[in-house]
């Protein structure tokens, strides 16, 4: 049954009420000084609709585990670790529930500080973010106004607008966007992690994040069919696994734990995947590369394999300047697609599977398996009587040059084609800097319920 807008909002409320998240910021530092903490609300405060309050917490490499409360006074009196010569990352959370705090803040700050020597300023607007969703949306521009006051103060102390990088999660992405609007797009960068969709998809660009809000805007979409937005909002928009259902996020996985709220695991897992992928990308263990393509279906069918629109340099998720894009001016609202795994570091090698068969009398089904010594990836192809050439994108945990075996199995039922005459099967990795030739095998038969396999002597070059 399709969800109505009202149902979505109610589910948001109940989902967050059931999640009692504990803030990751520690209470004291090594010297016994009390560390600043994120705010929390009570049910009484919720009923009274506590007025909007915004505080700022500062984390640097000098105090990575003990946040300082950061304001105009501490800045003026030089009582903080803030350094005007460093870039500044401004982290903005989104919708919260009564009593809940964004527990991911510390992990994100740690990842940012490991990657770069920066100031991390956490915007804490939990008091204003803890009502019903539609009421919280009424607050987001006021939050942006208050943040803009801080940015103006920092400018007077020598900070350049280009040095600010805003990272907004869900509704926080639109808060960052409005800050950018107030500064006429002169903010250095805004990164949106699954920017909120409800009440924003049809909004004017003045009222939501868009490419004009910063010199560079990138977004990661992982839940565009529920709580995330489905339209591009940046210069480059990464739609992971199509931007909707993420691998490893299923209702059944959580059903035994959350009997009364089985949708919890499905919705929150998808929505928060953008944050987890981004934090993993900051560790730099492997590149998460996006391929520009008009639609996800076109991408899966292997119709888009190059990054010519970016002069051959494919954008990557992370902190690299302008996502590694070298072309100028940067194209706007480009949809980028990539497939990920279900756990960190989330990246995998994209493999294009190309299959050509002789004409079929009946429809058929082929299961293609790529194997290494200890891993395998399966992909099912449905073959039709009117088509002889098929292209499909799949992922594998290791590079194509490490694949040892390719297997094809005719898994069709008795009324399907009994014997499939394969003209050729080829696999190639993309995008590939080495421009390696596809690996191909020609002319063989695959009979029903039997598998055909071919071993490779494959060695990765240098």
Is residue 462 in a domain?
no
Q: What are phi and psi of 367, to 5 degrees?
A: -105, 120
Lowest mean pLDDT among 8-12, 25-29, 350-354, 442-446: 8-12
Distance from C-alpha of 350 to C-alpha of 339, rounded to nearest angstrom: 7
Of 93, 235, 271, 396, which one is the catalytic site residue?
271
The residue from 280, 303, 338 where one domain ends is: 338
Counted domains in the chain: 2
The residue from 338, 373, 396 where one domain ends is: 338
Q: 178, 205 in Cβ contact below 8 A?
A: no
- Indicate which CATH number applies to the domain containing 410: 2.60.60.20
Residue 143 shares a structural domain with residue 50: yes
Residue 332 shares a structural domain with residue 358: no
Is residue 159 in a domain?
yes
Query: pLDDT tens digits, residue range 117-139?
Result: 999 999 999 988 888 899 899 99
Per DSSP, the residues of 105-173 read HHHHHHHHHHHS--EEEEEE-GGGGSS-HHHHHTTHHHHHHHHHHHHHHHHHTT--GGGEEEEEETHHH
Please state, in angstroms and as integers, the Cα–Cα distance from residue 329 to each residue in 153, 324, 325, 326, 390, following that order.
Answer: 30, 13, 10, 9, 36
The reply to whether 245 belongs to the active site is no
- Indicate which CATH number applies to the domain containing 262: 3.40.50.1820
Q: How far is CA 379 from the centre of its chain?
A: 24
The residue from 289, 305, 338 where one domain ends is: 338
Residue 240 shares a structural domain with residue 279: yes
Residue 354 shares a structural domain with residue 334: no
Is residue 66 in a domain?
yes
The reply to whether 361 belongs to the active site is no
Of 100, 174, 194, 210, which one is the catalytic site residue?
194
Angle at alpha carbon of residue 94, lines to 92 and 98, rounded to 5°: 120
Of 80, 170, 224, 280, which one is the catalytic site residue?
170
- Retrieve residue 216's tokens: 């560079």
3 pLDDT more than 50: no
104 pLDDT more than 80: yes
Rounded to two decimals, the pTM is: 0.88
Query: pLDDT tens digits, residue range 397-450?
Result: 888 888 889 999 999 888 899 999 999 999 999 887 556 778 899 999 999 888
Is residue 127 in a domain?
yes
Residue 209 shares a structural domain with residue 310: yes
Is residue 460 in a domain?
no
Range of the domain at 29: 5-338
Residue 301 shares a structural domain with residue 373: no
Q: 426, 437 in Cβ contact below 8 A?
A: no
The pLDDT value recorded for residue 175 is 98
The reply to whether 271 belongs to the active site is yes
396 pLDDT more than 70: yes
- Retrieve residue 147's tokens: 């943040």
Query: pLDDT tens digits, residue range 224-242?
Result: 999 999 999 999 999 999 9
Rounded to an integer, the average pLDDT of 43-71 is: 81
Residue 138 shares a structural domain with residue 13: yes
């Amino acid at each position: 049954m399709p969800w109505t807008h009202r149902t979505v909002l109610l589910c948001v409320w109940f989902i967050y009420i059931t999640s009692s998240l504990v803030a990751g910021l520690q209470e004291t530092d090594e010297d016994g000084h009390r560390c600043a903490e994120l705010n929390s609300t009570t049910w009484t405060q919720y009923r009274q609709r506590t007025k909007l309050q915004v505080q700022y917490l500062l984390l640097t490499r000098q105090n990575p585990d003990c946040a300082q409360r950061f304001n105009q006074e501490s800045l003026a009196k030089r009582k903080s670790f803030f350094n005007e010569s460093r870039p500044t990352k401004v982290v903005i959370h989104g919708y919260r529930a009564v009593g809940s705090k964004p527990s991911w803040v510390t992990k994100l700050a740690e990842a940012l500080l490991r990657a770069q020597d920066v100031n991390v300023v956490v915007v804490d607007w939990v008091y204003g973010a803890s009502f019903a969703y539609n009421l919280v949306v009424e607050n987001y521009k006021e939050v942006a106004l208050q943040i803009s006051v801080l940015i103006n103060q920092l400018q007077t102390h020598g900070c350049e607008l280009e040095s600010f990088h805003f990272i907004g999660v869900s509704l926080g992405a639109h808060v960052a966007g409005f800050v950018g609007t107030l500064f006429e797009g002169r903010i250095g960068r805004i990164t949106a992690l699954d920017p909120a969709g409800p009440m924003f998809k049809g909004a004017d660009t003045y009222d939501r994040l868009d490419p004009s809000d910063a010199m560079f805007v990138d977004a990661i979409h992982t839940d565009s069919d529920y709580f995330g937005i489905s339209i591009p909002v940046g210069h480059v928009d990464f739609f992971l696994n199509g931007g909707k259902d993420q691998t490893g996020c299923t209702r059944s996985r959580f059903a035994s734990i959350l009997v009364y709220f089985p949708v919890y695991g499905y919705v929150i897992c998808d929505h928060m995947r953008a944050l987890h992928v981004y934090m993993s990308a900051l560790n730099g263990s492997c590149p998460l590369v996006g391929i520009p393509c008009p639609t996800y279906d076109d991408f899966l069918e292997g119709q888009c394999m190059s990054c010519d629109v970016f002069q051959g340099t494919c954008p990557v998720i992370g902190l690299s300047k302008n996502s590694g894009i070298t072309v100028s001016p940067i194209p706007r609202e480009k949809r980028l697609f990539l497939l990920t795994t279900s756990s960190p570091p989330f990246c995998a090698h994209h493999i294009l599977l190309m299959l050509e068969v002789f004409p079929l009398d009946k429809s058929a089904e082929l299961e293609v398996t790529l194997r290494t010594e200890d891993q395998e990836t399966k992909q099912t192809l449905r073959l039709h009587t009117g088509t002889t050439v098929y292209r499909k994108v799949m992922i594998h945990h290791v590079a194509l040059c490490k694949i040892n075996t390719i297997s094809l199995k005719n898994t069709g039922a008795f009324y399907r084609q009994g014997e499939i005459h394969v003209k050729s099967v080829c696999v190639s990795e993309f995008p590939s800097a080495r421009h390696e030739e596809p690996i191909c095998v020609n002319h063989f038969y695959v009979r029903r319920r039997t598998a055909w396999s071919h071993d490779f002597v494959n060695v990765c070059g240098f």
